[in-house]
Structures are given as C-alpha cells and as structure tokens.
C-alpha cells in the first residue's frame, strides 16, 4: 500500500491511496508550533526600593507580544507566545529546555527576546549569581559565552530572530550580539543588539518619555519600547505637552531625539542597522 501526497502548508491534504474507493484519502497535516519566547529580568533596580526597571522590562515584553499578535504573519493556531520572567540569566536555558519538553521536542523557535540590563558580556541579573559566570571573581551577574552555547534552541529554518534589548549589546566591534551570532546554536539566526544605552520610550523609532516614566512609574499603560539613546537627551526626550505622549503624530515626533540604531548579525556578519520599528511597532502591521 503506497501513499502519494503533495507537500502543502494546509492542515488537510489529499493523497492517492491504492486499493481504496476512488483511490483517495484525506490526511491531517499537523505543523509544529512556532514559539516566541520573551524573557524579562524580574528584579528591582539595584539599590532602589522600587521595582521600577522590572516593570519597564515586563511592559516592553508585553508590548512586543501585543505587536506580534497584530502582525499579518501571526496565526493563532500556529504561533505561541511565552512571556517569561527570570531572576538569573542562566534561567533562560532552563526555561527553553522545559518549554521544548512541553512540546515533546517538536516545536520550533521563531523568536527570542531578552528584556534586561546588558553589558559588554551580555544580559545582566544584578541580584543573582549566574552560572557559568563570565568571571567567578569579578563578573558573576553575566553568563559566560559557554553557557549561551549550551542552550538547546530548536530554531525555525528561515527567519529566526534573537533580540537583545539591553544596553550596548551591539555597541562595539566583536560585540556580544556579534559573538552570539557566531555560535553553532545560533546558526542562521538574526541576532539584534543595541548600539547605545537603552531607555524606555513610547515609540520604537524616536525616544519619547514622560515625567511619570522618568521617575519609574507609568509603565503599565501605553506601549513601551527599549530604545537606544544618550543620558544627555533625557530632557529633550520628555514630552511635556498637554496631550498624551502616546498620541504624538509622526510630524510631532520629529521634535524628539531619534532612537539610536540597533545592529543585527547573522553568522558573525553584520546584516542590518536600523531602529527596532522595522519589526516591532504598534502603529504598523509588520
């Protein structure tokens, strides 16, 4: 008995089956789930009584999730979004392992986003020692590149993306984003990073803040993006108009500092230089 079936992306396909009435059979084709994993560091700002930065990281992850759900490529039955708080950076590998087991190893990862502080050696969890650390004596809050290389990702074949939203993750030649893109378990994945310090903004292409967000509140309403900028631009980025900052027109946005560009790499080569609005923007269906 031989089955002939045409490859298709549809959930149902017709094939030819010998020795059956009409020689046809309809089979269900189950496509593996495509996962979007959005990690945010769930710890308060070091030395602060307020959990200001964890709220910003969470809100930025929530914004990304909403934007994905509005994207034309998003299919509810095919794509699954996880918003994942972590205390230590090495928890990312643990959560990836758990989620892949949940899907019996059949799911594919479309996107990973990491919302955190970042340094030249990658994302930071200030209050948790990370294993393996970059330096067991002097840099215990960032994960050694060997720890990243050990994470068992299962990426989709084309179009996979990893975005490091934290400070300076693509700041210099041979940056952390570039190093990550060279790893075997990131092969053919587009890895994005920031070229400067990252700040909360209402928009992905311009840095726009408000007086309440400047003091670490107001993250739970309106979009939040982590965009590149300079510390000297804080006042210029603050909207003091009577209207809400979130309702600024494109013309009005030109009065504010442009977001410093992000860089993306694939297999160690620079691919793009742009603000994140090319893939993450509540104003457009991307």
Tens digits of pLDDT across the chain (286 residues):
333 333 334 444 444 445 555 655 655 557 889 999 999 999 876 666 555 689 999 999 999 999 999 999 999 999 999 999 999 999 999 999 999 999 999 999 999 999 999 999 999 998 889 999 999 988 899 999 999 999 999 999 999 999 999 999 999 889 999 999 999 999 999 999 999 999 999 999 999 999 999 988 899 989 999 999 999 999 999 999 878 899 999 999 999 999 999 999 999 999 999 999 999 999 986 6
Give the integer Cα–Cα distance in Å for 188 and 102.
25
- For the question of whether the overall pTM of this predicted structure is more than 0.85, the answer is yes
In terms of phi and psi (left: phi > 0; alpha: psi -120 to 50; beta: otherwise), the region of 65 is alpha
Q: What pLDDT does 7 receive?
A: 36
Residue 150: CB atoms within 10 A of its CB come to 14
How is the chain split among helix, strand and coil, in percent rounded to 5? 25, 30, 45
Give Cα separations from 50 to 53, 56, 60, 148, 223 (angstroms): 8, 12, 18, 30, 21
On whether the CB atoms of residues 43 and 54 are closer than 8 A, the answer is yes
On whether the CB atoms of residues 24 and 14 are closer than 8 A, the answer is yes
Q: What pLDDT does 5 receive?
A: 34
Question: What count of Cα atoms within 13 Å lies in the side-chain half-sphere of residue 199?
Answer: 28
Burial pattern 208-225, b for ≥16 Cβ within 10 A else e, equals: bbbeebeebebbeebbbb
Find the DSSP H helices in 150-224.
176-182, 211-214
On whether the CB atoms of residues 245 and 221 are closer than 8 A, the answer is no
**CA torsion angle 251 253 254 257 (round to 10):** 180
Length of the chain: 286
């Amino acid at each position: 008995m031989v089955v002939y079936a045409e490859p298709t992306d549809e959930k149902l396909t017709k094939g030819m089956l010998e020795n059956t009435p009409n020689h046809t059979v309809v089979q269900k084709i189950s496509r593996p789930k495509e996962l979007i994993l959005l990690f945010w560091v769930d710890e308060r700002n070091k030395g602060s009584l307020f959990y200001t930065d964890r709220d910003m990281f969470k809100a930025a992850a929530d914004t990304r999730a909403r934007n994905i759900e509005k994207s034309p490529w998003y299919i509810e039955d095919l794509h699954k979004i996880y918003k994942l708080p972590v205390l230590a950076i090495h928890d990312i590998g643990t959560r990836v392992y758990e989620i892949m087991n949940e899907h019996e190893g059949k799911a594919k990862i479309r996107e990973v986003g990491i919302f955190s502080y970042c340094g030249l050696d990658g994302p930071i969890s200030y209050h948790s020692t990370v294993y393996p650390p970059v330096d067991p004596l002097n840099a215990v809050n960032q994960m050694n590149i060997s720890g990243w290389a050990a994470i068992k990702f299962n990426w989709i074949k084309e179009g996979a993306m990893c975005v490091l939203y934290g400070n300076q993750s693509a700041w210099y030649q041979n940056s952390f984003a570039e190093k990550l893109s060279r790893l075997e378990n990131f092969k053919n994945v587009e890895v994005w990073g920031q070229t400067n310090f990252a700040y909360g903004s209402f928009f992905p292409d311009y840095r726009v803040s408000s007086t309440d967000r400047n003091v670490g509140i107001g993250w739970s309403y309106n979009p939040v993006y982590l965009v590149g900028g300079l510390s000297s631009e804080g006042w210029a980025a603050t909207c003091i108009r009577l209207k809400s900052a979130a309702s600024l027109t494109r013309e009005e946005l030109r009065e504010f500092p442009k977001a410093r560009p992000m860089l993306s790499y694939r297999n160690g080569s620079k691919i793009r230089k742009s603000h994140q609005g090319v893939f993450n923007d509540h104003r457009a269906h991307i």
